[in-house]
Structure 1
């Protein structure tokens, strides 16, 4: 028996939702295409994951289709340690791509009294 750190359905739903929220951007489209390719390569033609990719491709961003794909990926990869490892690798790369491509828009209006901090990523303490 093999032990694998499976990715949760909720984590995949969150990631897929982020991808489809940015499908107008090149990064989101590339991530989607890479996932579709990986799924076809790993799971063949007649699996729940392949059908779910097709359904989501027909209904981009649909929450039910996103959840169905996430569930299918978890189910299919739970039976194949190689597929689970490849999926984890894709998820890590996708998370890095999304984090790197995230835009930040800080704005303020009106009268401000006191300290203000506007930032994207802060690692460590902030002191005023």
Structure 2
């Protein structure tokens, strides 16, 4: 089992807040907030830390507090920790690609293909 480290979380959270002016950073923050509430419950230390960081976006002390809370809550719940690690891997990939999406199509295509990043609303061909 890979351990979730405070330093890795601080690094990722800092990157998220450094890119909050970009859509990817905003979406990652919203996604993390939702994941933390779902995984650890509304009264966990992590949820309280998310709330504080949301009130003080990018604050270094609040980032470290959230990172520590996530590590502590993950240590108590291995299933939640596994799901958090999965989310973190996806977030790291998004940060690494700078929010860009790469679409790849393999094999024979019969029909329409749509390559897009953010879609809001219906799509009709």
The question of 1:15 aligning with 2:12 is answered yes
Cα deviations by residue, 1:36-71 (Å, 9 ceiling, x for unpaired):
000000111111100000000000000000000000
Structure 1: 4+ residue segments shifted above 6 A: none
Query: Residue 78 of structure 2 aligns with which residue?
Result: 81
Q: Does 1:57 align with 2:26?
A: no
**Quick one: distance in 1 between partners of 2:44 and 2:91?**
23
1:76-118 Cα distance to aligned partner (Å, 9 max, x none): 0111111100110111001100111179xxxxxxxxxxxxxxx
Separation of aligned partners in 2, 1:89 and 1:102: 18
Residue 66 of structure 1: which of 63, 66, 82 is its match?
63
Q: TM-score, normalised by structure 1?
A: 0.75
Residue 75 of structure 1 deviates from its aligned partner by: 0.1
- The unaligned stretches of length 5 or more in structure 2 are 101-125
Tell me whether 1:26 sits opposite 2:44 in the alignment.
Answer: no
Give, in whole Å, the separation in 2 of the partners of 1:18 and 1:101. 10
Q: CA deviation at 1:6?
A: 1.7
Q: Secondary structure at the match of 2:93?
A: helix
TM-score by length of 2: 0.77
Q: Following the alignment from structure 2 to structure 1, what is the Cα–Cα distance between the partners of residues 36 and 65?
A: 14
- Secondary structure of 1:23's counterpart equals coil
Separation of aligned partners in 1, 2:87 and 2:50: 15
